[in-house]
A and B are shown apart, each in its own frame.
Chain A
Amino acid sequence: MMEKLEPHFKEGGKLHKFWPVYDGFATFLFVPGHTTQKGAHIRDGIDLKRTMITVVLAMIPALLFGIYNVGYQHFQAIGQLDSVSTGDIITYGLMKVLPLIIVSYAVGLGVEFGFSIAKSHSINEGFLVSGLLIPLTCPPDMPLWMVAIATVFAVVIGKEVFGGTGMNVLNVALTARAFLFFAYPAYISGDKVWISLGGENAVDGFTGATALAQFTSQGPNITNPVGQPMGFMEGFIGLVPGSIGETSTLAILIGALILGLSGIGSLRIMVSVFAGGYIMATLLNLLSSSFPDNPYLTVPAHLHLVFGGFAFGAVFMATDPVTAAQTAIGKVIYGFLIGAFTIIIRVLNPAYPEGMMLSILFMNVAAPLIDYYVVQANIKRRLKRVTVKAA
Chain B
Amino acid sequence: MSTETTTAKVAKKEKEALFSAKRMKLITDPLNDNNPVTVQVLGICSALAITVQVKPSLFMFGGVLFVVTLGNVIVSLIRNLIPSRVRIIAQLVIVAALVIIVDLLLKAYAYDMSKQLSVFVGLIITNCIVMGRLEAFAMGNKWWPSLLDGVGNALGYGILLVLVASVREIFGSGTWLGFQVIPQAVYDMGYVNNGLMILPPMALIVVGLIIWIQRAKNTKLIEAN
Contact = CB atoms under 8 A, between A and B. Distances in A.
Contacts of B196: 179, 182-183
A115 interface: no
B39 interface: no
B190 A185 contact: no
A184 B190 contact: no
Nearest to B195: A183
Contacts of A179: 196
A99 interface: no
B197 interface: yes
A186 B205 contact: no
Contacts of A186: 192
A184 B199 CA distance: 12
| Contact residues on A (Cβ < 8 Å of other chain), bracket | 10 to 19
A206 interface: no
A224 B192 CA distance: 30
Interface string A139-179: 00001011001000000010001000000000000000001
Interface in B28-87: none
A199 to B, nearest CB: 14
Contacts of B116: none
A187 interface: yes
Contacts of A182: 195-196, 199
Given A182-B199, A183-B197, A157 B192 contact: no
Contacts of A184: 192, 194-195
A182 B192 CA distance: 13
User: By DSSP majority rule, is chain A's interface helix, strand, loop, or mixed?
Assistant: helix
B212 interface: yes
Contacts of A161: 208, 212
Given A157-B205, A161-B212, A187 B195 contact: no
Nearest to A182: B196
A188 to B, nearest CB: 11
Contact of A187 (B192, B197, B199, B208): B192
Kindly name the residue among B190, B192, B208 whose own CB sees the greatest number of chain A CB atoms within 10 A: B192
A183 B194 contact: yes
Contacts of B190: 143, 145
A157 B190 CA distance: 25
Contacts of A149: 194
Contacts of B192: 143, 146, 184, 186-187
Contacts of A143: 190, 192
Nearest to A156: B209
Contacts of A183: 194-197
Contacts of B205: 157
A76 B123 CA distance: 57
A126 B191 CA distance: 30
Interface in B104-132: none
Contacts of B208: 161
Nearest to A185: B195
Nearest to A149: B194
Interface string A259-300: 000000000000000000000000000000000000000000
Contacts of A187: 192
Contacts of B195: 182-185
A157 B196 CA distance: 14
A186 B212 CA distance: 31
A387 to B, nearest CB: 40
Kindly name the residue among A146, A183, A187 whose own CB sees the greatest number of chain B CB atoms within 10 A: A183
A261 B64 CA distance: 62
Contacts of B194: 149, 183-184
Interface string B204-223: 01001000100000000000
A371 B216 CA distance: 34
A161 B216 CA distance: 13
Interface of A: 143, 145-146, 149, 157, 161, 179, 182-187
7 interchain residue pairs of minimum CB distance: A183-B196, A182-B196, A183-B194, A183-B195, A184-B192, A143-B190, A185-B195
15 contacts: A143-B192, A145-B190, A146-B192, A149-B194, A157-B205, A161-B208, A161-B212, A183-B194, A183-B195, A183-B196, A184-B192, A184-B194, A184-B195, A185-B195, A187-B192
